[in-house]
Amino acid sequence: MVTRAVGHRSLAIEGAGRYLCRVSFDALLKEVEALDATARRKLIAYMITLEDRRQTEYAEKLAQKIDDQTPGKWLTVEQCERELGLED
């Protein structure tokens, strides 16, 4: 594990593929602000890629649910209306 001081908190990074822990959002903002223009552009590109990936994963998951023909997993019109608060 690598630990780096960030203000009064520490930034702990555990192995590849793990997540950052014990970092405030404000500390992250300060780190991003300190990046040079090239690094910021790379970060922006990375963030857009993450968002696109999440949207794609959600769309694929939704498509799988729509394609599922198992009758027990579908709601009736009445159940949908009840869930959405559209009952008369």
Nearest to 77 by CA among 88, 67, 65: 88
Query: Looking at per-residue confidence, does 32 or 11 come out higher?
Result: 32
Residue 8 has pLDDT above 50, yes or no: no
CB-side neighbour CA atoms (13 Å) of 42: 6
Name the β-bridge partners of 10.
5
Q: Which helix (H) or strand (E) holds 80?
A: helix 77-84
- At 17-57, the pLDDT tens digits run 555 566 788 888 999 999 999 999 999 999 998 888 888 88
Cα 31 to Cα 13: distance, rounded to the nearest angstrom: 15
Asked whether 6 and 27 are in contact (CB, 8 A), the reply is yes
- For residue 36, give the amino acid letter: D
